[in-house]
Amino acid sequence: MEYFNKLKEYILKRGMKKNIQDLTVFFLIGLILIFAANILVSNNKSVNDKKAEAALAVQNKSPSYKDELEEELTGILNNIQGAGNVKVMIYLETGTESVPAYNSNNTKKVTEETDGNGGKRITNEDDSQTTIVTTNDNGVNKPYIIKEVNPKISGVIVTAEGANDP
């Protein structure tokens, strides 16, 4: 209770005009901070949206490995006499793995110190930095892929109209 009385006395001593000025300044600073945070968050979202769109465009521009295998196997089985209409479904263990290129910087430094009493100290410093190499494609940075590893086939289902079940 005593704290509130002291606060009330302080406010009355300063005068109402000064208090309104202080409140206005604090209010404006708060608004500026809110707008700055909003701008930073919206810029971050737009960068993430561009990255997601670029990834989807890469995925949708060509048929997948699975689709290519299914089409190829269907074409081969359709050429078998008496097979009729053939449908193929292939199951893969995982998705395609992309291996990016890396830029590695390794530094090794050995320091040997001897003090006046004959003590010896050896200091080894190893510094290793690895970063992914990126390419710029229409303003979007993408990793430079050096190899793509296709997944293992875990199963195949084949149906054919003209096939007999012995």
Phi, psi for residue 126 in degrees, rounded to 5: -115, 125
pLDDT tens by residue, 23-60? 787 778 888 888 888 877 766 555 555 555 555 444 44
pLDDT tens by residue, 95-129? 888 888 889 888 999 898 888 887 888 888 888 88
Q: Which of 140, 113, 108 is nearest to 125 (CA)?
A: 108
Residue 132 bridge partners (DSSP): 102
Report how far residue 97's alpha carbon sits from residue 144's, in angstroms, rounded to the nearest whole number: 13
Q: Taking all residues of the chain, what is their mean pLDDT, rounded to a whole number?
A: 79
* Position 34, amino acid: I
Q: How far is CA 72 from CA 36, 64, 75, 78, 83, in A?
A: 55, 12, 5, 10, 15
Q: What is the pTM of this model?
A: 0.42
Residue 156 is predicted with a pLDDT of 92
Residue 48 is predicted with a pLDDT of 53
Report how far residue 151's alpha carbon sits from residue 148's, in angstroms, rounded to the nearest whole number: 10
What does the CA dihedral 12, 13, 19, 22 come to, rounded to 10 degrees? -150
Residues written for the chain: 166
Report how far residue 158's alpha carbon sits from residue 80's, in angstroms, rounded to the nearest whole number: 13
Task: Provide the strand spans (E) within 24-115.
Answer: 86-92, 97-100, 102-114
Structure tokens at 49: 């949206």
